[in-house]
Chains A and B, each alone.
Chain A
Amino acid sequence: MQVEKNFEPTVVAFCCNWCSYAGADLSGNNRIQYPANVKIIRIPCSCRLNPMFILRAFQRGADGVILCGCHPGDCHYTSGNYFARRRMTLLFSMLSFLGIEKERCRVEWVSAAEGAKFAATMNDFVATITRLGENKKLEDLRCKK
């Protein structure tokens, strides 16, 4: 028997290894909760995030994608997040131009010391995506189970 369930969005969080992934770990160390909808993928730096990865996630059924990196000026590789910032700004603007809900993607700078901020960001982002509902506009139904 199938039970009607509330909408549980799939959220992919790309986190840079040096700041945000460590921030997520700190959030865990401090036992600060955030929804299990968030699944983290570790990348060396926010500049490693290819826009293709975001589109791929949406294609495969993600409802929201968030990129977390070191605060501007604090990049482990000195300049990576500056490039990421330009790339994501343009990509998000294009998605919005195409009529896709612009809240579905986000960039947040989270340092290794900001465990609480990481959790708060994820809580807020999941709430936003839950409100937006399923990613119908970009979802590839063919690949959905």
Chain B
Amino acid sequence: MQEVIKQKAIELLSSGKADRVLGWKEGEFFYDITPAVFTDVKEIEEKFVYNAFCGPNFSKYLVAESRKDGKIAVFLKPCDTYSFQQLLKEHRILRDKVYAVGIPCDGMVDIEKIRQKKIKGITGVTEAGEVLQIDTIYGKKEVAKKDVLAERCENCKSKKHVVYDELIGEEGDVLDSHRFDLVEKIEAMSEEERFAFWQNELSRCIRCNACRNVCPACTCEKCVFDNPASGIDQKAAADSFEEKMFHIIRAFHVAGRCTDCGECSRVCPQNIPLHLLNRKFIKDINEFYGEYQAGADMETRAPLTDYQTDDCEPSVILTKGDQ
């Protein structure tokens, strides 16, 4: 698949259909894939990659890239297309400046999960169907890909590309995922357990802002947390409360706009399961106001900018059992 996509990138650039190509290249380590803008064919031939570590979602880069001169081609995995469309809906990306190529995705691998299998000294990973062949300084190892998938890919919500100019491979379907299982589990805990769970998670936050910076829904020209006039700007996590305030407000600001791409949790250096906060909102929205998937289309009104006269009252929370 890498070769097909690479050839497509070369074709788009050399035919003049695009002036730049947004793709992936290796970072410091082979599993540390980073986004890159390619402007010449040679560079693509040498550096362009597409493998099981190409997690980064390019949608957010297009906010700035689509405002530059010329046209940019971009490769979007199915879940990335949701973020892309959501940003189109919010007028953040200039559609006519982007050539979007939908590409297939079999799920991305979480390097931490390979390490958790006591595989050390990894020097390379090759995909062979369902199996990953892992080169280590201690020799070759094998592991089933499904055992080391990133959490968001284990619970993949859709293999369908919701928007593109061109599609490589076959169109997939929206999937039945179990993505709300953990949210349900937390809901079922007692209040004290929930508090303990989140205190344990959120107290590790170092307020590096990586979650915000990677989030395709967080594209504000100026973030409220950086704005002294907002009254809630915070430079650092000074105490346990402020960490929570940051994450609650961030989750609220993206509620109804978050496509559940899972980038926040992927980039968190402290491995805080931040996506659970967003998923809680998504789950609530689905339950209270009807199924809604941000980015799935251009027309449906976002749940927080809409209402029904017979919506449930906030007191529904009180009666929702002690979850």
Contacts and interface: CB of A to CB of B under 8 A. Distances in A.
B323 A85 contact: no
A137 interface: yes
B164 interface: no
A101 B288 contact: no
Contacts of B193: 99
A33 interface: no
A31 interface: no
A56 interface: yes
Contacts of B244: 98, 138
B242 interface: yes
B259 to A, nearest CB: 17
Nearest to B244: A98
Interface in B147-193: 183, 186-187, 191-193
Interface in A53-88: 55-56, 59, 72-73, 79, 82-83, 85-88
B241 interface: yes
Contacts of B323: 96
Contacts of A101: 191
A99 B135 CA distance: 44
A90 B252 CA distance: 8
Interface stretch (B118-126, B215-223, B302-310): B302-310
B232 A90 contact: no
A96 B321 CA distance: 11
Contact of B248 (A55, A103, A140, A141): A55
B43 interface: no
B31 to A, nearest CB: 33
A93 B309 contact: no
Contact of A94 (B196, B277, B304, B318): B277
A16 to B, nearest CB: 15
B217 to A, nearest CB: 15
Interface stretch (B60-68, B99-107, B278-286): B278-286
B195 A94 contact: no
A97 interface: yes
B285 A90 contact: yes
B241 A59 contact: yes
Given A94-B277, A99-B191, A86 B309 contact: no
Interface of A: 51-52, 55-56, 59, 72-73, 79, 82-83, 85-103, 106-107, 137-142
10 contacts: A52-B249, A59-B245, A86-B307, A88-B314, A90-B304, A94-B280, A96-B317, A97-B186, A99-B192, A106-B315
